[in-house]
Amino acid sequence: MNIMLDIAGSVIIGGLLALMLFNFNTYQTNTRYLSDTELQLQQNAKTLAEMLNYDLRKIGYNCERDSIWEETNNNRITYYADLDWDDTPDKVTYFLGDSTEAVSTNNPRDKVLYRVVNNDTTGGPTLGLTKINFLYLDEFGNQTVIHSNIRYVKAELWIESIEPVNVDYIFTYWEMTINTRNL
All structural domains of the chain with their residue ranges: 10-179
Mean pLDDT of 66-84: 93
Whole-number pLDDT of residue 78: 96
Q: In what order do the strands lie in the sheet with 152-160?
A: 129-137, 152-160, 171-179
> pLDDT band for position 59 (50/70/90)?
very high
Distance between CA atoms of residues 147 and 154, nearest Å: 14
Mean pLDDT of 61-75: 90
Whole-number pLDDT of residue 174: 94
pLDDT 10s digits, 128-154:
999 999 999 999 999 999 999 999 999
Distance between CA atoms of residues 165 and 175, nearest Å: 24
pLDDT 10s digits, 20-53:
999 988 888 888 888 888 999 999 999 999 999 9
pLDDT 10s digits, 97-124:
988 888 888 899 999 999 999 988 877 7
Name the residue among 160, 64, 152 with its Cα closest to residue 106.
160
Instruction: Return the H-helix or E-strand segment holding 67.
Output: none
**Does the pLDDT value for residue 77 go beyond 90?**
yes
Whole-number pLDDT of residue 138: 95
**Cα dist from 141 to 34, 136, 149, 151, 152, whole Å:** 37, 9, 11, 8, 8
CA-CA-CA-CA dihedral for 65, 156, 91, 150, to nearest 10: -10
Q: What is the mean pLDDT of the chain?
A: 90
Distance between CA atoms of residues 171 and 41, nearest Å: 8
DSSP string, 148-182: GG--EEEEEEEEE-SS-BTTB--EEEEEEEEE-TT
Contacting residues for 58 by C-beta, under 8 A, at least 6 apart: 81, 82, 83, 180, 182
Whole-number pLDDT of residue 153: 96
**Does the pLDDT value for residue 65 go beyond 90?**
no
Whole-number pLDDT of residue 170: 92
Distance between CA atoms of residues 135 and 72, nearest Å: 8
Name the residue among 159, 152, 68 with its Cα closest to residue 105.
159
**Does the pLDDT value for residue 181 go beyond 90?**
no
